[in-house]
Structures are given as structure tokens and as C-alpha cells.
Chains A and B, each alone.
Chain A
Amino acid sequence: MVKLCSKIDMNYIIFLLRKLRKALFSNVFNTVITLLIILFISLACFQTFEWLIFKANWKVVSSNIPLYAFGSFPSNEQWRPATWIISILSLSMLTLCGPEWKWLRKNLLIAWVGTIPLGLYLLYGGFGLSPVMSRHWGGLTLTILLTACSSLLSLPFGIVLALFRQSSLPLVYRLSSIYIDIMRAVPLISVLFFGQLLIPLFLPAGIEIDRVWRAILAFTLFVSAYIAEDIRGGLQSIPKTQIEAANSLGLNQYQIIRFILIPQALRIALPALTNQSIGLFQNTSLMAILGLVELLGVGRSILANPEFIGQYIEVYVWLACVYWMVCTIMAVLARHIEKRMTINQSNF
């Protein structure tokens, strides 16, 4: 038995090696390219490791970890945003590899939506916690808050816009088309700028929205136009016969939208929607230009500190790693949810 195994293994290894040789060294040109690449990779790896271990001064990162995570949140209250981030992380773990209990799986969505009020409560304080002004929010906490709130708010808004754009009423259709087309034509930064500078001008004297909420509003206005187009794609791919079938079953307009169109359109649009929220997470970095101290903003303010001046590479590499990590977690979660959704579909 052992003999057989090793024989198969040897054959397999020889097969792999042959394949490798065919892929990498099939002719002179390929061989040269392969050798050049190997040289390049080893040089790059060597340089990078040398820099990472010997040259880089990681004090700029290690001594400022709380700043990156929570911004200027009062230091004796930092357990609050920490609790929030940890609860989100554990919820992701639970979603990814938690047990298959039905009651758990059914309520996961509610738990996810529930993280937002929990986060707001923990950040704002009140009801037993000491209140913290929103200008003290910052770092990764603020980045996640911006992403979560804007994603959640822009979903219903996007659904309404998409339905309006599919509507047979010409005026409703025109209005939503104009809105979507304008929003998709302008750069995000100008919309955010509109949020920070112009929204106060449109409000009556005496009413003020604070900076974080103005940013969330601007992100929502922008992203909902993109989400609307994704959902419209989903709506268009639902065959007309389904609506006819629903009509013949005696469902009214509202019921058709609520029970036939929206669930299917959302399922079809799901990959696009998760991509939008990953994009949104990256785009919250633009608020660093417009004066919010989120993750990138913290990096900028640390670099402005004379103690750490000129240590751009360390800070930017560290920030890139953090963004990359969170994006990867989001992407893994998204793939997981998509997979579960398709399984559900086959159960029908």
C-alpha cells in the first residue's frame, strides 16, 4: 500500500514538473521572461524584507495604535469603540464559520443591522455612558461607522430610485433618471464637498447637522445612485412572465414589488452591491481631505507631528495593510453570503 502511494506520488510530481517546464520554459523567449521574473521577485522580496526588518522604524505605528483605531476618543472611554469593533469582528466570524443553527442563521441579518444602533449608542453615549461629541470620533472606528451607516441608508434609497426608474409614469421616471445620471457623472469628492459646505446653506437657520452625519448623507446620496443602477439590472433580468403570473394570482402592485421583484432583484444584484460597499469603505478615505479624522486622516495628522515627520513610507504601508485587511474580510464575507444565497435559490 505504502509502495503504491509513493509510486503515484512520484508520477504525479513528475507530471507536475513536466507541466511546469512546459508552462515556464517552452521556448527561449519564455525562459528568458521566467528567469527575469524570478530575478525580479527575489530582488523585490529581499529589498522589502530588508526594509521591513532593519530599516523601517515602526515606532510611528506601534506607539500610535489607539490613535489609528479610535482617533481622539477620550482615552478612558476607548473601551466603547473597541467593544463595537470586536463585536463586529466576532459577528463576522460567527457568520463565516458559526454553527448551522436555524434560529441563529435567521437572525444574523437582524444582528448585523443591529450593530449600527449599538455602535451609535457606544459612540454617542448617553443612557448611562458619558456623552462624547462626534468631533472626537476618528480612526478606523469612524471609517467603519461611515461605511456601515451609508451602506445601510443607501440601500432603501437605491431600491426606491431603481423602482422609480422602472416606473411607467413618465414624470417619476424622468426625475429619477436625471438624479441617477447626474450623481453618476460627478466625482465623489464634489458630492462630499457639497455635503460639507452646501448642505448647511440649504437648511433653515438654527438647524444644524453635524459633520459626520453630513458626510454620511453625502455618501448616501452618491452611493444610492450607483446602487439603483445595480438593482435596476436585477429588476430587468426578472422575466416578464413572473409579473403576469403574479397578476393572474391576484397580487396587487405593492405585493408584486414586495414579494416578487425586490427579493429576486436583490439576490441578482448582490455581488454588485457588496462590491459597492467595499468601494464605499475605500472611498471614506476622501473625508481626510475634507476634514474628518478617519483612518487616513489620522495618518496625515500623525505625519504632521514633528516627532514622526518624514516617516511617510511606514505610515502609508501600515494604512494600506489595514485597508487591505478590512477589504479582504469584507470580500470574504461577501463571497460567503453570495454562496449561501445561491444555495437557497436551488432549494426553491
Chain B
Amino acid sequence: MKINKKSVLQLGVCIIFFGGLGILINNLTINLIRTGLGFNFTWLFKPASFALAEHPLPYTSSDSYAWAIFIGWLNSLKVIVSSLILATFLGTLIGLARTGKNFLLGIISAGYITVVRQTPLLLQLMFWYFVGFLSLNDNMFIQIKNIFNISNEGIEFSGLTFSSEFLALFLGLSVFTSAYIAEVIRGGILSVSGGQWEAFRSLGLSEREGITRIIIPQALPAIIPGLTSQYLNLAKNSTLAIAVGYSDIYAINDTIINQTGRAIECFIILLISFLLLNLVITNTMEIMNKLTLKSKKYG
């Protein structure tokens, strides 16, 4: 009787779900036939015929769409990895300042955190881009012996050039995420009991040594899960690149959709890209988590 009821319920949910899905897909096929596009991925190998301002690997507009998407992937990874590093660094500093004894530093970092967290990321990105970089006009070069140039084209540092789009996104994402990471770090440090601080002080360790050797290792198990979700958010937020004109995976897919109208296919590509990216970040952080737990056990 009970099994029967359960299977009937499941069957009901199944029918509703797949019935709804069937109707939607039916509508989709009708609409796709009407627009005459159909559903296939052969267009991926046709020439893309749009230029990209930013490409880590050689790219010309006669390359295929697939190559353009790959370049978009690389651009996304570039900005995600670099902002991840800066955000972690900044976030740790601010988090430590927030928990530290110097209350002036505490007030400043608390102010930083509230301002950054209470304004939308998109607004911040636009601010960085339009105010931070584009307002530097051509004649306002900051030049140091041809090694270090800043202009509205970006920053050139001994042969390496970073476009202003990249820099705006990089700084904006780092600053935004650092405020959240600071709160994660603060939570982690507060989770270590106060006795540990007194203990290392009474053992004669210096403040810096105590924090790096006693407090942070114990705070890490509480920090890493929060850090993981912040890294995932950062990766997802990097798609706002389109607002400053940086050609990341989302922006390139957007261009392709505008050019070819292949919305469904591009959407599937985007979906798979982000599922993969999430998988990579979660697994890396899982390994980190295991390592810290291990070091805690034997260390």
C-alpha cells in the first residue's frame, strides 16, 4: 500500500515534469523550424568573422567560432585566476585588519566592507572602467622610463600589456570579492577560541608568528568552505565582463548569438562551460580542504 502510494506520487510528478518539458520542447522545435535555423553545431567550424581585442593565443577573424569560444575561455580563466589571487590577498589583509587590535584600522576595514557589499558589482565595474581607466586621457601618460606606462589604453609593464578592460574587471572583481573574503576570514579567526591567543602570547611568540602559525592553521577548516563559495561567486561574476567590453566566454557567446541567432546552442555551450568550471574549482578546493585537515591531524 505504502509503496504503491509512493510510486503513484512519483509517477504523477514525472508526468507533470516531462509533460511540461515535452510541451516546451515541442514549442521550441516549432519555433526553430519557423525561424529556419534548426539545431546543430556545424556552424562552430565556420569562420567567426569578428575581431577580438584581447587574445592570449593568435586569433584572426577568419578563425572558426570554436576557436573564438576557446579564446573566450582563456580570457575568462585569465581574469578569474588573477582576481582570485588578488582578492584572496586583499581579503586576508582586510579580514586581519578587521579583527586586529588597532581600532582605526578596524573602522576603515569595516567601512570598506560595508561600502563594497552594499553597492552592486556592476556599478563598481563601470566605475572602475569609466572613471578609473577611460578618464585617463591619451596625454596623461604616467611614464617611468618606458618600463611602466599607464594610459586609457591600459598598463604596459616592461613589454607586458594589460588592456584597461581587463584591468577594470580584474580590480573590480578583486575589490568586490575581497570584501566578502574578509568576512569569511574574520569568521574563521573568530572561530578560534580566545585562549589560543593568550596561549601563544604567554609562550612568547610574536604577534605575527602567532597569527601565521597558531591562529590561521586552526581557522583554515572554518575558512575554506566559505572561500570556496566566494571563488565560485567570483567565477560567476566574471561574466559581467560584457559591461566593460572584455571578451570573456559570455561576451563572445553573446556576440555569436547576435551574429548567427544560435541562441540555444550557445546557451548550452555556456551551461557546460560553467558546470565544468564549477567542478574544477570545487574539486581543487576539496583537495585543499583535505590537505589542511591532514596537516592539522599530523602537524
| Complex CA distance for A324 and B6, rounded to whole angstroms | 49
| Complex CA distance for A185 and B263, rounded to whole angstroms | 19
Q: Are A296 and B236 in contact (CB under 8 A)?
A: no
Give the total number of A-B pairs whose CB atoms are below 8 A apart. Answer: 134
Cross-interface CB contact of A23 among B34, B103, B108, B123, cutoff 8 Å: B103
Residue of A nearest to B122 (CB): A285
A23-B101, A285-B123, A320-B123 given; A201·B118 CB < 8 A: no
Q: Are A316 and B101 in contact (CB under 8 A)?
A: no
| B267 CB-CB contact with A under 8 Å | yes
Tell me how far the C-beta of A304 lies from the nearest C-beta in chain B, rounded to whole angstroms: 12
Tell me which residues across on chain B come within 8 A of A113, comparing CB atoms.
Answer: none
- 8 Å CB interface, B100-157 against A: 101-105, 108, 115, 118-123, 126-127, 130-131, 135
| B32 CB-CB contact with A under 8 Å | yes
| A254 CB-CB contact with B under 8 Å | no
Q: Are A24 and B102 in contact (CB under 8 A)?
A: yes
| B259 CB-CB contact with A under 8 Å | no
| Complex CA distance for A107 and B131, rounded to whole angstroms | 47
Residue of A nearest to B17 (CB): A175
Residue of A nearest to B108 (CB): A37
Cross-interface CB contact of A282 among B17, B103, B119, B257, cutoff 8 Å: B119
Residue of B nearest to A44 (CB): B108
Q: Are A190 and B270 in contact (CB under 8 A)?
A: yes
Tell me which residues across on chain A come within 8 A of B236, comparing CB atoms.
Answer: 186-188
Residue of B nearest to A331 (CB): B118
Tell me how far the C-beta of B141 lies from the nearest C-beta in chain A, rounded to whole angstroms: 20
Residue of B nearest to A284 (CB): B120
Q: What 0/1 readout, one digit per residue, does chain A (187-231) give for beta carbons within 8 Å of chain B?
A: 111100110011011111100000000000000000000000000
Q: Are B123 and A323 in contact (CB under 8 A)?
A: yes
| Complex CA distance for A172 and B17, rounded to whole angstroms | 10
Residue of B nearest to A323 (CB): B119
Cross-interface CB contact of A169 among B6, B135, B238, cutoff 8 Å: B6
Q: Are B120 and A282 in contact (CB under 8 A)?
A: yes
Residue of B nearest to A170 (CB): B10
Stretch at the interface among B54-62, B184-192, B196-204, B239-247: B239-247
Tell me how far the C-beta of B273 lies from the nearest C-beta in chain A, rounded to whole angstroms: 9
| B85 CB-CB contact with A under 8 Å | no
Tell me which residues across on chain B come within 8 A of A313, comparing CB atoms.
Answer: 127, 131
Q: Are A198 and B10 in contact (CB under 8 A)?
A: no
| Complex CA distance for A316 and B134, rounded to whole angstroms | 14
| B30 CB-CB contact with A under 8 Å | yes
Q: Are A316 and B250 in contact (CB under 8 A)?
A: no
Q: Interface size bucket, A side?
A: 35 or more
Tell me which residues across on chain B come within 8 A of A204, comparing CB atoms.
Answer: 27, 30
Cross-interface CB contact of B34 among A182, A205, A320, cutoff 8 Å: A205
| Complex CA distance for A168 and B2, rounded to whole angstroms | 12
| Complex CA distance for A172 and B24, rounded to whole angstroms | 20
Tell me which residues across on chain B come within 8 A of A203, comparing CB atoms.
Answer: 27
| Complex CA distance for A187 and B239, rounded to whole angstroms | 7
| B13 CB-CB contact with A under 8 Å | yes
Q: Are B130 and A316 in contact (CB under 8 A)?
A: yes
| B275 CB-CB contact with A under 8 Å | yes
Residue of B nearest to A319 (CB): B123
Tell me how far the C-beta of A273 lies from the nearest C-beta in chain B, rounded to whole angstroms: 17
Q: Are B14 and A171 in contact (CB under 8 A)?
A: yes
Tell me which residues across on chain B come within 8 A of A41, comparing CB atoms.
Answer: 104, 108
Tell me which residues across on chain A come within 8 A of B264, comparing CB atoms.
Answer: 198, 201
| B274 CB-CB contact with A under 8 Å | yes
Residue of A nearest to B233 (CB): A187
- 8 Å CB interface, A280-317 against B: 282-283, 285-286, 288-289, 296, 303, 310, 312-313, 316
Cross-interface CB contact of B104 among A34, A187, A198, cutoff 8 Å: A34
| B292 CB-CB contact with A under 8 Å | no
Tell me which residues across on chain B come within 8 A of A303, comparing CB atoms.
Answer: 130
Q: Apart from A172-B13, A187-B250, A312-B135, what are 11 other A-B pairs with CB-CB below 8 Å?
A: A170-B10, A185-B274, A185-B278, A186-B270, A186-B271, A189-B239, A190-B250, A200-B31, A201-B28, A204-B27, A282-B120
A-binding residues in B (CB < 8 A): 6, 9-10, 13-14, 17, 24, 27-28, 30-32, 34, 101-105, 108, 115, 118-123, 126-127, 130-131, 135, 236-240, 242-243, 250, 254, 257, 263-264, 267, 270-271, 274-275, 278
Please, could you name 17 A-B residue pairs with CB atoms under 8 Å apart, sorted by A? Answer: A23-B101, A23-B103, A24-B103, A37-B104, A169-B6, A169-B13, A186-B236, A190-B250, A190-B270, A193-B267, A198-B264, A201-B28, A201-B32, A204-B27, A204-B30, A289-B243, A313-B127
B-binding residues in A (CB < 8 A): 23-24, 26, 30, 33-34, 37-38, 41, 168-172, 175, 182, 185-190, 193-194, 197-198, 200-205, 282-283, 285-286, 288-289, 296, 303, 310, 312-313, 316, 319-320, 323-324, 327-328, 331
